[in-house]
Structure 1
Amino acid sequence: MKITPISGFPEFLPAQRIVEQHFLDVIRETFELHGFPSIETRAVEPLPRLMGKGGDADKEIYGVSRLDRDDAGDFRLDLGAFDDALGLHFDLTVPFARYVLENAGHLSFPFRRHQIQKVWRGERPQEGRYREFTQADIDVVDVGELAPHFEAEMPLVIAEVFRKLPVGRMVIQVNNRKIPEGFYLGIGIDDVGGTLRIVDKLDKIGPAKVKDQLVEAGRTAEQADQCLALAAIRSEDLSFVEQVRALGVEHPTLDEGLDALAAVIRAGLDHAPGAMVADLKIARGLDYYTGTVYETQLVGHESWGSFCSGGRYDSLASDGKTTYPGVGISIGVSRLLGLLIGKGLLVASRSTPACVLVAVNDEESRAVSTRVATELRARGIACEVAPKPAKFGKQIRYAERRGIPYVWFPAAAGAGDSGDSGSGGSGGSGGDQVKDIRSGDQVDADATTWEPPVQDLHPQVLRAEHTTDQS
């Protein structure tokens, strides 16, 4: 059978996987620094739950079925009755809501969690969008009411994550759904959701067409202009409050939204200067989010869109008696990495975790090389023993092809400085030696004490030189 790739299911090469693992390690460690314990939920949920409230049927959910045989012995797929059918989760929020309901009696509220898992969507694959991908989420959920300070905490955690990653400057765009809601009500628009859906098209079709659609939907030209004026407000400080007030609209819900967004932006100014911006055109999850909403862009690569988003939801889950409001934010790890790696903006310094290749003189002395490797590994130095007792020049080239910076010559091997010595060469001092194959420097070494420079101990993720995205 001919092997062909399946679109939308990315698989990284080893060096690319090192970049991905670095991102996942930084994300996990930062989440845990902020006190978010890890959970993992099952890959499948009942289809009715995935397609119900909190679900999203237009994500083209993958159904899951056993492979069976019919009466003629032919294979068939049968999902069975809809109420019993299962599907792969398309995000981590729907399974998290179910998890909270199932385990509420065992959880301490407010409950914080982080979750890093694969999700699946049957949408059309394209650059940066996949059918199987990894998301990294944090959420805080409480019983009945959720303190508003958690809405400020979410972007602070994300800002810290991206300060530690070699991605350049990122900006978290923040809005509060109560601002447009109160503003629209204040100018006499009752269909808040419909208006938001049209205004949300600004980046795609521009203000002129948005105004036309607003008027076609029954808003007056003056109302349309006011909606566009609100959506145009963007500031890195608290000046957005006065800019909104200057539009002359009053409504209690608008006041609540401005106060809430000001608290989030103030926290950003205090703890993550330059990371947040109040952007009043951000909508997100029109039937889902109820308070603060977030989107995130890389400066210079705005055309990529948002790779990290979320918001507050006042009804994450409910059992009919108790409601669990929450706030969360999600990093589209695969989406971000697919673009950064695909465009050559991030590379790994080597394709293996090994820092040292331990040379082998001959098969009879392989045990000597293995003992050296064991000593190095015991002290946290990743290493590999050469697969063959080839000439030392070939063993060095083996390391070079993988980016391994050091080759270790046990005393029994005795490489000397030639690099091309064959079996039975003699080391300069009669003891072990290690060679930095980049500089050619070779020195005496003891496996119980030798340390590589810190930057060589693990593969490094490097940001390649690139130009600003002009698209």
Structure 2
Amino acid sequence: MARKASLSGFPEWLPAERLVELHVLDTLRRTFELHGFSNLETRAVETVGQLLRKGEIDKEVYGLSRLQDAAASAQDPSALALHFDLTVPFARYVVENAGHLAFPFRRYQIQKVWRGERPQDGRFREFTQADIDVVGDGRLPFRYDVELALVIAEALEALPIGPFTVRVNNRKLAEGFYLGLGLEDTAGVLRSIDKLEKIGAAKVKELLASELGATSEQADAALALAAIRTEDASFVERVRALGVEHPLLDEGLAELAEVLQAASRRAPGRVVADLSIARGLDYYTGTVYETVLTGHEQLGSICSGGRYESLASKGSRTFPGVGLSIGVSRLVSRLLADGSVAASREVPTAVLVALANDDSWSDAQDVAAALRSRGIPVEVAASAEKFGKQIKYADRRGIPYVWFTGAGGSHEVKDIRSGDQVPADPATWMPPAADLNPRVEAVDAG
């Protein structure tokens, strides 16, 4: 189980736990690059004006000021703050570097972000996100919305996280439906529907009536839409059966159907149409995604995002995009808390080169260099203690092999797990592939 952080909301993993996190990051990186996404990193600091320009989220932002200065006012748009996600900084990056990028531009980004919210299960004040986005210049074909759902399903499938569901909706579908009902404040309805899992249908109906003036019939229809969930494009008929018409609804239905038709073929059972998904941020304009772990739905979404048309713009030039963000720290914390995965050892080291005496340290370094030249992680003992103590040190560190050099220059390597000790040549010996590097694997609960 993950060790509790001494400062709430700021996790620090133990070495074996960090290996699990690195495995997740490496797997995601490898999958993203297989699909042609380029890596980049943006600065940790943005102006408050930049961070808040697409939604009121000031309670989540950490302001930045030097200790000897008075704290910068959050009302000052030129004040500095730590970024709370990677999408807004990426939009700024695209605008500033548009002349150097080839569009559509595909990027992945793995960085820390900071949010000043109350820490709880799976929610941190400092955490790692892994994002992928595709951005166009002026227009972006809808097929990228389809592709991102498939990429993220493939990336998560490669992790030892168990079953998951990518839930997809379309803001055009929802907004067109509300407009067809006569509810003009579509953003307000979306914000209310977004609270459905937290407060339940009855409370949402009260909100729709008290805050948006919805009639009982309008609220019931909005909730009926949110109750639709299918693994294929059959949601279209169910929405049509509700008897609401609007051109924007037609557009949203067609787009979401395209996503589900592709997903049902290439990621069956992993991607579903869930018309309760709204996403709270205002900059989403079309497809929206949320991903939950089966059996851990209370953890919330581990991967979310959507289509945005005007988050990035420069004058009349716009850069529409679609992206998804994986909450890596949330995901890793769940894996560690339930013990569903573990590293095969706590350190990268595969071999400890033992010292027969203190004068043999230089020769031991030669052995280590020969092994490292073939990619074998090696440590050299710091002092020539009794071999038993050096073996105990390796065992305590989780190092599987100890290397011994005899007085005549002979070499032997001992597998301290089995006790087997055999002659070995530093120029040719290799451990079994399974022992070369730590492995992160699912743990059999039985």
TM-score (norm 2): 0.94
2:325 is the counterpart of 1:330: yes
Deviates more, 1:384-393 or 1:141-150: 384-393
Asked if the contact 2:191/2:280 (under 8 Å) is kept, the reply is no
Residue matched to 1:426: none
Residue matched to 1:79: 72
SS of the counterpart of 2:359?
Answer: helix
Among 251, 268, 271, the alignment partner of 1:273 is 268
- 1:464 is aligned with what amino acid? V
Asked if the contact 2:50/2:77 (under 8 Å) is kept, the reply is no
Matches of 1:284 and 1:115 in 2, distance apart?
A: 21
SS of the counterpart of 2:22?
Answer: helix
Asked if the contact 1:54/1:94 (under 8 Å) is kept, the reply is no
Residue matched to 1:158: 152
| 1:15 to 1:172, Cα distance in 2 relative to 1, 3 A | same
- 1:178 is aligned with what amino acid? K
Asked if the contact 1:88/1:120 (under 8 Å) is kept, the reply is yes
- 1:144 is aligned with what amino acid? G
Matches of 1:312 and 1:83 in 2, distance apart?
A: 26
Among 107, 131, 144, the alignment partner of 1:113 is 107
SS of the counterpart of 2:168?
Answer: strand
Deviates more, 1:307-316 or 1:261-270: 261-270
Asked if the contact 1:193/1:286 (under 8 Å) is kept, the reply is no
Residue matched to 1:438: 417
| 1:309 to 1:457, Cα distance in 2 relative to 1, 3 A | same
Asked if the contact 2:149/2:166 (under 8 Å) is kept, the reply is yes
**CA offset digits 1:394-415 (Å, max 9, x no partner):** 11111111211111112339xx
SS of the counterpart of 1:311?
Answer: strand
**CA offset digits 1:227-255 (Å, max 9, x no partner):** 12111111111211122122222222111
Offset at residue 388 of structure 1 (A): 2.1
Residue matched to 2:129: 135
Matches of 1:83 and 1:452 in 2, distance apart?
A: 58
Asked if the contact 1:135/1:331 (under 8 Å) is kept, the reply is yes
**CA offset digits 1:40-67 (Å, max 9, x no partner):** 11111112212223673231x2222223
Among 159, 179, 182, the alignment partner of 1:185 is 179
Matches of 1:286 and 1:13 in 2, distance apart?
A: 34
Residue matched to 1:305: 300
- 1:446 is aligned with what amino acid? D
SS of the counterpart of 1:316?
Answer: coil
Offset at residue 464 of structure 1 (A): 2.9
**CA offset digits 1:363-406 (Å, max 9, x no partner):** 11122221111111000011111222122221111111121111
Matches of 1:365 and 1:238 in 2, distance apart?
A: 71
Structure whose CA Rg is larger? 1
2:123 is the counterpart of 1:122: no
Residue matched to 1:222: 217
Matches of 1:78 and 1:284 in 2, distance apart?
A: 32
Matches of 1:412 and 1:304 in 2, distance apart?
A: 59
Matches of 1:183 and 1:457 in 2, distance apart?
A: 57
Counterparts in 2 of 1:38-117, with a 5 A limit? Answer: 38-53=39-54, 56-59=57-60, 61-68=61-68, 76-79=69-72, 82-117=76-111
Asked if the contact 1:139/1:329 (under 8 Å) is kept, the reply is yes
Counterparts in 2 of 1:210-289, with a 5 A limit? Answer: 210-216=204-210, 217-289=212-284
Residue matched to 2:36: 35
Residue matched to 1:200: 194
SS of the counterpart of 1:366?
Answer: helix
Higher relative contact order (CA 8 A, sep 6+): 2
SS of the counterpart of 2:121?
Answer: coil
Asked if the contact 1:365/1:412 (under 8 Å) is kept, the reply is no
Matches of 1:227 and 1:25 in 2, distance apart?
A: 42
Matches of 1:13 and 1:77 in 2, distance apart?
A: 36
**CA offset digits 1:107-140 (Å, max 9, x no partner):** 1111111111111112222221111111111111
| 1:446 to 1:89, Cα distance in 2 relative to 1, 3 A | same
| 1:78 to 1:194, Cα distance in 2 relative to 1, 3 A | closer
2:18 is the counterpart of 1:17: yes
Matches of 1:185 and 1:234 in 2, distance apart?
A: 21
2:443 is the counterpart of 1:450: no
Among 203, 209, 213, the alignment partner of 1:209 is 203
- 1:65 is aligned with what amino acid? S
- 1:175 is aligned with what amino acid? N
Matches of 2:401 and 2:21 in 1, distance apart?
A: 24
Deviates more, 1:44-53 or 1:299-308: 44-53
- 1:13 is aligned with what amino acid? L
Ranges in structure 2 where 5+ consecutive residues have no aligned partner:
none
SS of the counterpart of 2:200?
Answer: helix
Q: When the two structures are aligned, how many residues end up with a matched partner?
A: 440
TM-score (norm 1): 0.89
Offset at residue 39 of structure 1 (A): 0.9
Matches of 2:341 and 2:358 in 1, distance apart?
A: 39
Deviates more, 1:46-55 or 1:157-166: 46-55
Deviates more, 1:317-326 or 1:216-225: 216-225
**Percent identical:** 62
Offset at residue 89 of structure 1 (A): 0.9
Matches of 1:346 and 1:175 in 2, distance apart?
A: 31
- 1:33 is aligned with what amino acid? L
| 1:466 to 1:227, Cα distance in 2 relative to 1, 3 A | farther
2:334 is the counterpart of 1:339: yes
SS of the counterpart of 1:118?
Answer: strand
Deviates more, 1:371-380 or 1:338-347: 338-347
Asked if the contact 2:169/2:278 (under 8 Å) is kept, the reply is yes
Matches of 1:462 and 1:386 in 2, distance apart?
A: 29
- 1:29 is aligned with what amino acid? R
